[in-house]
Amino acid sequence: MTRQLHLNAFLMGVGHHEAAWRHPRTAERDILDVNHFVEVARIAERGRLDSIFLADTLAVGPNVERNSPAVFEPLTLLSAIAGATRHVGLIATASTGYQHPFTLARAFASLDHISGGRAGWNIVTSAGFDEARNFGYDAIPVHAQRYRRAEEFVDVVLELWDSWGDGAVVLDVESATFADPQRVRTVDHVGEHFAVRGPLNSPRSPQGRPVLVQAGSSEAGKDLAARHAEVVFTAQRSIAEGRRFVADLHGRLPRYGRTPADIAILPGIVPYIADTESAALALEREFTDLISADYALRQLSAVFGVDLTGLSLDERLPNLPAESHIEGQKSRSTLVRELATAENLTVRDLLGRLGGGRGHRSIAGTPEQIADDLIAWVDAGAADGFNIMPPYLPGGLADFVDHVVPILQRRGRFRTDYEATTLHGHYGIEAPARVPASSGRRVGAPA
């Protein structure tokens, strides 16, 4: 049977390329304009994409003089977008490292209500030193500790989302019954990191609960994904790497009673699209030529936790800490090191390769070539679809939607219209049944 692709639009400012705001194809002030993001979301919806996704960091970034990765808080921005769209899914990043399960559960439940069942939560643990300092820490919490906290955090959020049963909201005017207390339960969670009574003060959302998304590819990250994630964003640079990642993640699912049908794996891809391959390559070079080396070197420093700002651009990378010695971006550090080594790149060449997608794969070509590439990955079992990362916005996404998506549709590989009303439905994943809070009591019952 011909496999259908899943396509997500990963939106970042005026484009994923770090110099996008300087390129004549973008309007730099759009970074601060909510209408820009509404327009881009509508383009994604015009292409019948599964969802849009907003990343987030809790700091200004390594070099604010040159760029800052995020301006708007994602949930706030997606609430504005929800009112301007009807179908496309809305995925926001939120950290388990520096938030509380109750407030996060309430915020995402609210977005799911506001959007009519289109919300998704991208679970991150926050690996940046500047993020840690913004919350009173003098170092990044140890990797294993961050993921223990994340596991408990997600468990509490799920219990809170399930603290209201289906049909709990009655709204019977004659009997003055707002909700059935038999269907609303406390959580009474007491764990290593959190103590939460519950219930959540937001009823069960339209799709049962928001979709769970995960993007870490470390060992702990893959275990978290295998246990909880319904969608996985990942960075893989070849079909062989993609197949290994898929096999690894699928192999972890049985221990949690799950199957490959319960999860969609979407590698990131940065497409440069033009009428000819040579024109697409020239477009990619235009962006590469705008890279600020000092900004890129600070980004590279953040990946490895080592000051690399003094590197000569025409040398190779020096010996750097192994993944086992990095507490921050473990899997990304390995990806960057392997890319530099496999292709014997100078620092200058490496920065150029990372400028568009920070290690995600870039491809320059015609719409037919892009479509052929995406289909080849899915047919080889290296992906279920893709996290499209336009190098510039809105034009980069419009080119994909208007020129690549129709090819996929003509070949029977992508929907021609939305068939579901929820984000779970777009991904073809059944929303998990409600699981009653493990130790809760119905509201109003004696303690």
What are 200-218's pLDDT values in tens digits?
999 999 999 999 999 877 8
Closest CA to 410 of 371, 384, 381, 383: 371
319: pLDDT confidence band, cut at 50, 70 and 90?
Answer: confident
pLDDT tens figures, 294-311 = 777 777 777 777 787 777
Q: Is 368 helix (H, G, I), strand (E, B) or coil?
A: helix
Query: 169: Cβ–Cβ under 8 A, 6 or more apart, which residues?
Result: 178, 179, 203
Element (H, E) at 154: helix 143-161
SS3 at position 281: helix
Window from 116-125, 129-138, 420-429 with minimum mean pLDDT = 129-138
* CA 232 to chain centroid: 8
Domain ranges of the chain: 6-276+360-426, 292-354
pLDDT band at 331 (very low <50, low <70, confident <90, very high): low
Q: How many residues in total does the chain contain?
A: 447
Question: Cβ of 342: how many Cβ atoms within 10 Å?
Answer: 10
CA 126, 130, 134, 140 dihedral sign is: positive
> Could you give the C-alpha distances from 188 to 198, 203, 381, in angstroms and in order?
7, 18, 43
* Residue 250 pLDDT: 97
Whether residue 336 has pLDDT greater than 80: no
Nearest CA to 135 among 195, 89, 95, 164? 95
- Nearest CA among 135, 73, 84, 132 for reference residue 108: 73
Note the pTM of the prediction, 2 decimals. 0.88
Mean pLDDT, the chain, integer: 89
Structure tokens at 224: 């978290």
Q: What does the alpha-carbon distance between residue 180 and residue 44 come to, in Å, rounded to a whole number?
A: 40
For 380-405, give the DSSP string. TTS-SEEEE--SSTTHHHHHIIIIIH
Q: Which CATH superfamily does the domain covering 6-276+360-426 fall into?
A: Luciferase-like domain (3.20.20.30)
pLDDT of residue 218: 84
* Burial class of residue 108 (count of CB atoms within 10 Å of its CB; 0-12, 13-18, 19+): buried
366 close to 179: Cβ distance less than 8 angstroms: no
Q: What is the per-residue DSSP string for 297-339?
A: HHHHHHHHTS--TT--TTSPP-----GGG-SSSHHHHHHHHHH
User: In the predicted model, what is the mean pLDDT of residues 84-108?
Assistant: 97
| Residue 179: φ, ψ to 5° | -145, 155
Structure-block tokens of residue 54: 């907003």
Least confident range of 111-120, 141-150, 355-364: 355-364
